[in-house]
Amino acid sequence: MASNSASQILATTKTAPYSKPRDSRFLQSRKPYLNLCCLSQKFSNDNALFCLPNSKSFLLAKELEERNSNNHSPTLREICQDHVPGNVLLPTDVQREALPVLFSGNDCILHAQTGSGKTLTYFLLIYSQINPKKSAVQALIVVPTRELGMQITKVARMLAAARHMDPELEQKSYTVMALLDGGMLRRHKSWLKAEPPAIVVATIGSLSQLLEKQIFKLDSLRVLVVDEVDFLFKSSKQVSSLRKLLTSYSSCNNRQTVFASASILQHRRFIHDCIQQKWTKGDVVHVHVNRIMPMPACLYHRFVICGRKAKHQVLLSLLQSDLPESGIIFVGEQSEKSKKSGQASSTTVLIDFLRASYEGPLDILLLEEDMNFNSRAASLTDVRKGDGYLLVSTDIVARGIDLPETTHIYNFDLPKTAIDYLHRAGRTGRKPFSDERYYVTNIILAEERFVLQRFENELMFHCEKLTMEA
């Protein structure tokens, strides 16, 4: 069953009363910072861990725990050795396997499906290790993009606030800094000198600038997390800085290291390199969940074959017949040759076509690398307003970005690799406890069919052919 993704633990802006959902197995209470989801066997991974004692959701959850006590499924509190409140939350597969490893002090490679609970897994470790009374950077989370960094920062701050509210835990607040590309480094420098935050979420570029100038020091670092680690290592621009971070600016012997991704190619080789290059200690553990099924089972994959000139019209027909609640349309990046020749990008051409031809209720939005940081942030803000959207995007949103309302993915251009396909598809199917199908549709040329078949073989999924009426 799919799980909530990390950003779904963000605080709701309004307080809603307890409501009994349609599924009798699922109990829910919605309050600011206090959202609890319990299922007979699994905890939806990234809903808030903290609910008010004596609240209706808390008492119902207690009752549910007693009802299921014969299953002997350990709670998060049992796994985490009392580092979280005992509010009856049960772990997802990756949390069940990884948390005992992490709380034993081992370095860890978290390798599990998109939306499986990896983010909350490493946050549980972080909040158990840092000392809020100590004025020093104690946890560092490295991310590949500003957008993912903003999302993870919000999650970190929400968890810090929820932990601060819990009567069983220390009342000292935790500070979280976002050190991301496009930010104001002058302000960050002042903050780091005056009162260093306990947790920093950073892109490697901005982080490296401050490390090189010795403004940012990692002497007190206890936990280092590299999210989407395979993406960072395959980027020639970022891999050199990442290697320095792992070996020069801090030592694996003085910290606990966590690497996370849904896709780690040649993982045995990667583990060997981690130990050999001293990115991790020799006891690093590879927690690999759902090896046989790299993508969630709720995804329904389809393809349409058409000519290049017909692709726009085919997409429009699909939108009219599918009636998505919200969707992401992935388009390939513009080549340097095309840019130099002054040609309009595929995203621009597609956006113009949809705005002229699409008559549905969804807002048409754009997000791509060439946009400035403010425009990119504005697009994501519009997407998260709660109204339906059609987001035309390059692969900038394919890694880690959580848009749980997305019901349909359209690959207007096929991704370059099977791994890219996996991450694009992983932007949907992220609602827990739902029997819905989520759709990944590929609009391809006849000569691209063999590429899609290769993806099917590598990722072990079936793609059904659709025939469009003339």
pLDDT per residue over 317-337, tens digit each?
A: 999 999 999 999 999 988 778
Domain that holds residue 144: 6-288
CATH number for the domain spanning 309: value is 3.40.50.300
Inside any domain, residue 293: no
Contacts for 335 with CB less than 8 Å, ≥ 6 apart: none
pLDDT band at 52; cut points 50, 70, 90: very low
Segment 241-280, tens digit of pLDDT: 999 999 999 999 999 999 999 898 788 999 999 999 999 9
Do residues 112 and 287 touch, judged by C-beta distance below 8 A?
A: yes
End residue of a domain, out of 288, 320, 335: 288
- Band (pLDDT 50/70/90 cuts) for residue 19 is very low
Cβ atoms of residues 261 and 111 within 8 Å? yes
Q: Both 304 and 375 in a single domain?
A: yes
Domain final residue, candidates 224, 254, 288: 288
Q: Does some domain include residue 30?
A: yes
- Co-location of 276 and 316 in the same domain: no
Please indicate, yes or no, whether residues 259 and 316 belong to a single structural domain of this protein. no
Q: Are residues 202 and 133 in the same domain?
A: yes
Domain count, the chain: 2
Q: What percent of the chain has pLDDT over 90?
A: 47
Q: Percentage of residues in the chain with pLDDT exceeding 70?
A: 77
Mean per-residue pLDDT, 334-359: 88
DSSP β-ladder status, 327-330 and 199-203: unpaired
Does 25 share its domain with 121? yes
- Mean pLDDT over 124-147 rounds to 92
User: Which alpha helices (DSSP H) does 281-399 contain, by range?
Assistant: 311-322, 336-340, 346-357, 373-383
Q: Are 368 and 345 in contact (CB under 8 A)?
A: yes
C-alpha closest to that of 8 among 408, 405, 423, 425 = 405
Mean pLDDT estimate for the chain: 79
Q: Which of 288, 309, 342 is at the close of a domain?
A: 288
pLDDT band (50, 70, 90) for residue 1? very low
| DSSP E strand stretches across 144-233 | 176-179, 199-203, 223-227
- pLDDT over 70 (residue 49): no
Q: Are residues 313 and 416 both part of a single domain?
A: yes
Q: Which is more confident, 352 or 3?
A: 352
303 and 264 within one domain? no
In a domain, 54, yes or no: yes
60 and 92 in one domain?
Answer: yes
Residue 250 falls within a domain, yes or no? yes
Same domain, 159 and 266: yes
Report yes or no on 450 lying in a domain: yes
Measure CA 380 to chain center: 14
Return the pLDDT at 431. Answer: 64
pTM of the complete model: 0.77
Q: Determine the pLDDT at residue 282.
A: 95
Number of Cβ atoms within 10 Å of the Cβ of 15: 9
The verdict on 227 and 100 lying in the same domain is yes
Is residue 62 situated within a structural domain?
yes
Q: Which comes out higher in pLDDT, residue 318 or 187?
A: 318
1 within some domain:
no
User: Are 277 and 303 contained in the same domain?
Assistant: no
Same-domain status, 109 and 179: yes
